[in-house]
Copies of this chain bind each other. A is one copy, B any other.
Amino acid sequence: MSLTLIYNARVITMAEDQAVFTGGVLFDNERIHSVFSGKADQSIAVKAAVKVDAKGKWLMPGLVNTHAHLGATLLRGLGEDLPLDQWLKTVMWPNEAKLNRELAHVSADLALTEMIRSGTTAYLDMYHLFMDEMAEKAAESGMRAVIARGMIGIGASETEQKAKLDESVQLFKTYHNAAEGRVRVLLAPHAPYTCPPDFLRRTADIAKRNNISVHTHLAETRTEIDEYKAKYQKHPASHLAELGLFDVPALVAHGVHLSDREINLLKEKDVAVSHNPISNLKLGSGVAPLRKLTEAGVKTALGTDSAASNNTLDMFEELRSAALIHKGMHENPQETKAYDLLKMAGQTGAEVLGFNNTGRIESGCEADLILIDPDAPHLTPSSVERTISHLVYAVKGSDVTDVWVKGRQLMNNRELTSLDEEKIRYEANQSVKKFD
């Protein structure tokens, strides 16, 4: 691929020195060749086949959504404000049962359009339908993706359990590190409360044998913990550790109901957490102990969960909520810091998904980049000093104008280049008759 030059931007590098300056970047689909402040000198400019005048826009690494369920995107806005079990039983499960191949594709396509539009460049998709096709779709869309075939172990016969595990291992063998490293695959038992211990142990064994990382839901609701403890006399985090699931790199979603003991365990086992504040609020699950997690040294990133419980896939919304709610809950404006949250929403997310060479604008890193147009009242007045604050507390996903992943442009001045957005939205709107 030829070289792209972005110039005249305010560059938010997210590098060690936290530098923010006016300048640009030169990259191809392998790596960022150079990052410069001021004007691009002739030796740089001459190499570029594509030149993007960013005219005062803000250039930063893309955001990373570390927990989502793309297949459920068509269920956005169905049956709100219900108790969790009623919502699952009367809204989610009956409607998810209607997702055939065609609808699952439309649902995922819709999620991809929304994620790219709002500046997300990498995501984790935990779902159970046609995940091989979802891996292909991720590859074609140009996005960076972790594919996690969610496995429910309850009630499934030995044959069914084995089929799910085999499917997951096959997925891993076929798609892990596919699309020049843009697609990765994890093993994903759904949750401790939906997978009996022997299934989890078996999953752990397979993960260890094949060197596959794992992803699961953990400690989302208080009820779940209470019921789990009544049944197994231990917190599910301890149980997962015992069963060997944390002997491979693990990322757990939610982590709302964790005591210091479990937090220390996660740290000890080097387990990362995907904090999903909006979904946790909306479903009445609670508020995760973010500061305790980060102070204990647990790698904590951000995720949206599904559009059915959020109801957007906009990581800027997630970032802002994460930056706000802990301050309020603990009545302490210093509970979280803007820059730390911004790092969590991008770089830490990239790291916990295994995309270690993204999330920073530095020579040698891969080019997962977004441009933001600050020419709007809610981002005014603007200055270098106010940039981080605006990114955390004021930017909307709709301010993103351009997106590159691994050097390929996926959105150009608000037009998607790899997906037919109009067709996708049309098909998605047509689908509503199928649900209720």
Contact = CB atoms under 8 A, between A and B. Distances in A.
Interface of A: 74, 76-78, 80-84, 87, 110, 113-114, 117-118, 221-222, 277-278, 280-287, 307, 310-314, 321, 324-325, 327-338, 375-378, 380-383, 386, 388-390, 392-394, 396-399, 421, 424-425, 428-429, 431-432
Given A76-B394, A278-B324, A311-B378, 19 more contacts: A74-B381, A76-B381, A77-B393, A78-B389, A80-B388, A81-B336, A110-B377, A110-B380, A282-B327, A282-B333, A283-B333, A287-B328, A310-B393, A311-B393, A311-B394, A325-B325, A380-B425, A382-B429, A396-B396
Nearest to A328: B281
B78 A284 contact: no
Contact of A81 (B314, B330, B333): B333
Contacts of A381: 74, 76-77, 110, 428-429, 431-432
Contacts of A284: 327-328, 330-335
Contacts of A432: 381-383, 386
A222 B76 CA distance: 38
Most chain B CB within 10 A, of A324, A329, A334, A375, is at A324
B82 A334 contact: yes
Nearest to A114: B377
B394 A396 contact: no
22 contacts: A76-B380, A76-B390, A77-B393, A78-B389, A81-B334, A81-B338, A110-B380, A117-B376, A221-B331, A277-B328, A282-B328, A283-B333, A284-B334, A284-B335, A285-B331, A287-B328, A311-B390, A312-B378, A313-B378, A325-B325, A377-B424, A378-B397
Contact of A338 (B80, B386, B388, B399): B80
